[in-house]
Amino acid sequence: MSDVWVLGVPAAEKILRTVAVYGGLALLLRLAGKRNLAKLNSFDLVVVLLLSNEVQNALIGPDNSVTGAFVGAAVLVVVNSVVVRLVNRSDRAVRLFEGDEVALVKDGQFVDTELRRQGLRRADVETALRAQGADGPEDVAEATLSAGGSIVVWLRPEEMSANRGDVATILRRLDELEALLARERA
């Protein structure tokens, strides 16, 4: 019972293992593409679960202690926090770690070469388009897969919805025109 708190490997080795696995997984996910970030389907979820199991032994080594688990978890959180903060300070680093945004729909048409390259199906992109106010690709000026993995949609101007501010502006302008016409008649 007393071994529960005793590290099974030196702390430096534990830290090195954790940082190395973090770096390796970050590289693999970067090479796999943004599609994995855009939406996890059943297959992607299976891969993520298996990845966590696969790298577990590399992280813990011969150490099954609670202390070792906390050290590993703390290192993962700190390393991730540092990487995120460093990457977000530089557009170049963002492009290196996350890639550039990619057009999936342009002027109402799917960009099939990019869909294939990113491993996305038209149906998945159409779902994202509908969630952001489009009835289909014909309503879209451009839809991109962002560096972070989300799909961002810009509707064609004629497809954009008016909000209360837009309506208030139109009503105010109509009132001004009505007053102007009334003055000209008088």
**Helix boundaries (H) for the chain:** 11-32, 35-38, 42-60, 66-87, 91-98, 112-118, 122-131, 164-185
**Span 130-140, mean pLDDT?**
93
pLDDT at residue 171 is higher than 70 = yes
Q: The whole model's pTM is what?
A: 0.65
151 phi and psi angles, rounded to 5 deg: -95, 125
What's the pLDDT at 186? 79
What's the pLDDT at 162? 80
What's the pLDDT at 40? 63
pLDDT at residue 148 is higher than 90 = no
Structure tokens at 86: 């460093």
162 phi and psi angles, rounded to 5 deg: -85, 145
What's the pLDDT at 74? 92
What's the pLDDT at 28? 85
Average pLDDT, the chain: 86
What's the pLDDT at 38? 53
Contact of 114 with 102, CB cutoff 8 Å: yes
3 state DSSP class of 101: coil
Report the share of the chain in percent with pLDDT over 90.
39
pLDDT tens, 21-61?
A: 999 988 887 787 665 555 566 777 788 788 888 888 888 87
pLDDT tens, 68-107?
A: 888 988 999 999 999 888 888 888 887 787 788 899 999 9
